[in-house]
Amino acid sequence: MDWSERRRRFRSLLAGSRCVHPGSVFDPISARIAEEVGFEIGMFAGSVASFTVLGAPDLIVLTLTEFAAQAYRINRAGTLPLLVDADHGYGNALNAMRTVQELETAGVAALSIEDTALPANFGAAGEMRLISIEEGVGKMRAALAARQDPSLVIAGRTQAISVGGLDDTIARAKAYEAAGVDALFFVGLKKRAELDAIAAAVRLPIIIGGGGGEFDDLTYLGARGVRVALQGHQPFMAAVKAVHDTLKALRDGVKPAALPGIASAELMRAVTRDADYKRWMDEFLSRG
């Protein structure tokens, strides 16, 4: 498939002046719904991938192959430009190169590589650690070198604000910007003063995750160079709650016809592209 058009749309968003929220998606149908209701981009997080594929917490036990396969399923289902969280690139700089190759082939529009030291080492469970700036720069440069489609967006991601503070965050951002990444992704910012200082120090488009609070104003964010602001991954959690409650109700004796919150036949036909399949059947399977 040709993925470049959706990548160009993502780049156009980065080059603009607005900030948008992505739709958090986790499978083909959720991606189709996000596109149908009007989201301009989708977001597939590493944590949600671990939940969806393994039913496991976000502890970097998911493999690159499993992550890329699910990203491909999402991308194949529609045309929504997809931003993915590629964690630490699944290893060192050479692993980051492989990560870019696999995710580019899977059709993502943008991916982030972070400088968190992952997975947790023995004796350091629950402790957030960062790799050095020099190693982080090496990963960014390797990721960029692995890219074949120049329209693919590669973002340098850091949560340094939670570990080394604002000065370290800015130092890392400027180093990754100098390495050539297309955008900068910051996680853990809590105050506008932090974002203001970062925005004044860098020129690249900004993505933020885990904001909320002082970062609810899209106009303010857009004026600070933020182009994408994550809101969390409530759609997956809502889906879990709906499945849990439905199965429990059935087990408790509620009749299927009495269950609340069930998708209508019309909605199911829409999200499964039923009309397209019927048309293809008529065109290719009929006796003519």
225-278: pLDDT as tens digits: 999 999 999 999 999 999 999 999 999 999 999 999 999 999 999 999 999 999
The angle that helices 28-37 and 64-76 make with each other, rounded to 10 degrees, is: 40
Q: Are residues 175 and 250 in the same domain?
A: no
Residue 82, phi then psi, degrees to nearest 5: -115, 125
R_g of the chain computed on alpha carbons: 20
Give the count of domains, the chain: 2
The pair of structure tokens assigned to 12 is 């156009």
Q: Are residues 17 and 47 in the same domain?
A: yes
- Strand, helix or coil for residue 163: coil
pLDDT above 80 for 212: no
Query: Distance (Å, rounded) from C-alpha 126 to C-alpha 109?
Result: 31
Q: What is the CATH number of the domain that holds 222?
A: 3.20.20.60
Q: Are residues 52 and 160 in the same domain?
A: yes
Q: Are residues 221 and 207 in the same domain?
A: yes
On average, the pLDDT of the chain sits at 96
Q: Are residues 17 and 101 in the same domain?
A: yes
Listing DSSP states for 51-104 in one string gives IIIIS--SSS-S-HHHHHHHHHHHHHT----EEEE-TT-SSSHHHHHHHHHHHH
Among residues of the chain, what percentage have pLDDT more than 90?
A: 94
Q: Please state the pTM of the whole predicted model.
A: 0.96
Q: Are residues 193 and 126 in the same domain?
A: yes
Q: Are residues 39 and 114 in the same domain?
A: yes
Domain final position from 205, 233, 261: 233
Q: How far is CA 21 from CA 63, 78, 209, 228, 247, in A?
A: 27, 19, 10, 6, 32
Q: Are residues 105 and 157 in the same domain?
A: yes
Q: Are residues 118 and 11 in the same domain?
A: yes
Q: Are residues 194 and 151 in the same domain?
A: yes
Query: How many other C-beta atoms can be found within 10 angstroms of the C-beta atom of residue 266?
Result: 9
pLDDT above 90 for 9: yes
| Domain encompassing residue 122 | 4-233
Q: Are residues 80 and 212 in the same domain?
A: yes
Q: Are residues 12 and 80 in the same domain?
A: yes
Contact 201, 172 (CB under 8 A): no
Query: Distance (Å, rounded) from C-alpha 93 to C-alpha 17?
Result: 32
